[in-house]
Each structure stands twice: as C-alpha cells, then as structure tokens.
Amino acid sequence: MAKVLILQNHPDFDAGSFAEELKSREIDFDYHKVFESGAPQPELLSGVKGLIILGGPLSFRVDQVEKNPKLLEQISFLRVALEAHQPMIAVSQGACLLAAAQGAWVEKAPKAVTGWTQGEIYSDYSRNSVIYSKVEEKRIPAFSYLDTFHGFPPKGYWYVYHPDCRYFSSGIHGNCYLFNFHPEVTEALLKTWVQKFPQDFGGEEAAQALLSGIDKKLDYSKDFSRKIIHAFASFLR
C-alpha cells in the first residue's frame, strides 16, 4: 500500500508538482479516481499515511453535493480521515470538500476567482505553521480556479486572505492544509485547463493570455509546492 492516497475528482486535474515532489522524495503514492468509482472505503485509511484531495473545473459543483452521491461518499470518507487525524492537503474544490467534512458551509461565490492572483499571508496563525513560517513574502502569487468558497473550518487556522475569497488558505488539526488555489499547478496542467475549459477563464483570448509570462509565477509555485510537500512528508508516519 502506498504511503499517500490522492483523491482525483476529475481526469484533467492531477497532482502536478505535488506528484513530482513526492517522486523526488521517493514517497509512494496512488491515485484513487473518485470520478469513476466514488470515494474509497474508510478501511483503506489503515493502510495509508496521508491524503491529497484535488479539485476540478467550474462545472465540478461541490456546492451541490446533495445531487452527487460520489461527493457525499467522499465527504463521509474525509470525515473519518479527520477523526483519525490523517495528514491531508486539499486544493481548490477539494478544500471545499474537506471543509464540509469538518462542518463548514460551502456555497457558490458571487463571482469566480480564476487566473493568476495574490493572497495575503495572515500572520497571527501563519507564524506557527510548518509551511507558512518558511515563507518570507507577505503576499504570494497563486493560480486560482474556483467559484465555490467555504466557511472557516471549526477550530481551524487561518493562513492566507484574498479579498474575493476570505479563507484563501486555512488549516485543520495542524496537519491538514486547505488551499483555495492551485499550488500544484504546472505548465502542462495550465495548458490543459486553458485548452479544455476556456469558458471558465472568460473565453479563448483571456484563457490564452494566462500562458503569457508565466515562468516566474510557475517557478514560485514549484518552490511553494516543495515547501508544502516537505511539511507534508514530516507528518507521514
């Protein structure tokens, strides 16, 4: 059994630079394709050391889980994982699912937050975070791709603020990190999203513009992804 289980909610959204970092650290991982077979059984948790929960395009409606039995199964699975204090990384809509498992609300936002943006690190909690305490910048570049937001997880930690997404990054239990953006983004992932879902970014022209001058932004995302997996690896027992 692999040490890390990646819950993949859409075929075009893989773990990107997270997977690259896990490989470089020789940490075994497997994908579980939730979009095909639903959530894994809770018994599987006894054989893994950590979870990564991924997102999807704007059509992936995590604010309507009552209409999707597979998402309800996943929230139940994540609730068991939280009770077991499993280390977890959750990105974009995956973060909304993890927040819902902890009891937070999830709703469609007044407007989508898509494309390159910046988040402001909230120092009160972040100075004690194994990830954000290593980040020197007060504002971090991020690629966001969602139109569903979640409330503050009960007994959670608030790490990053965004004017259009208050809890841009938060935490649970000290070993679970929620990102309402995509630190795992790579050039290959971004090109796939732009090609397949241009309507999510305001049309073909706006979508293609996201590929312009991305080298420094992707370099930062890759370095940030490295910090995330470094911290995550310290939680794996």
Provide DSSP, 60-90.
Answer: --GGGGGG-HHHHHHHHHHHHHHHTT--EEE
pLDDT digits (tens, 9 = 90+) for 24-65: 999 999 999 999 988 899 988 888 999 999 999 999 998 888
Residue 174: pLDDT over 90: no
* Structural domain span for residue 130: 4-235
Cα 107 from Cα 210, distance rounded (Å): 26
Cross-strand pairs, 141? 118
List all residues 6 or more positions away from 86 whose beta carbon is below 8 Å from its beta carbon. Answer: 45, 48, 49, 50, 51, 175, 176
For residues 150-176, average pLDDT: 89
The burial class, CB within 10 Å (0-12 / 13-18 / 19+), for 227 is middle
Tell me the CA distances in angstroms from 177 to 10, 48, 49, 236, one per residue in order. Answer: 20, 17, 15, 14
Query: Which pLDDT value is given to residue 2?
Result: 66
Cα 134 from Cα 228, distance rounded (Å): 10
Q: Which of 130, 145, 149, 126 is nearest to 183 (CA)?
A: 145
For residues 170-190, average pLDDT: 94
Cα 71 from Cα 38, distance rounded (Å): 7
Query: Which pLDDT value is given to residue 129?
Result: 87
Cα 75 from Cα 39, distance rounded (Å): 8
- 3 state SS of 98: helix
H or E element, residue 190: helix 187-196
Query: Which pLDDT value is given to residue 26?
Result: 93
> Where do we find the tokens 């879902």?
197
pLDDT interval class at 1 (50, 70, 90): very low
For residues 133-143, average pLDDT: 87
pLDDT > 90 in the chain, percent: 65
For residues 149-178, average pLDDT: 89
pLDDT digits (tens, 9 = 90+) for 98-137: 999 999 999 998 888 899 999 999 877 778 888 888 888 8
- 216: domain CATH number is 3.40.50.880
> In whole numbers, what is the pLDDT of the chain averaged over residues?
91
Count of domains forming the chain: 1
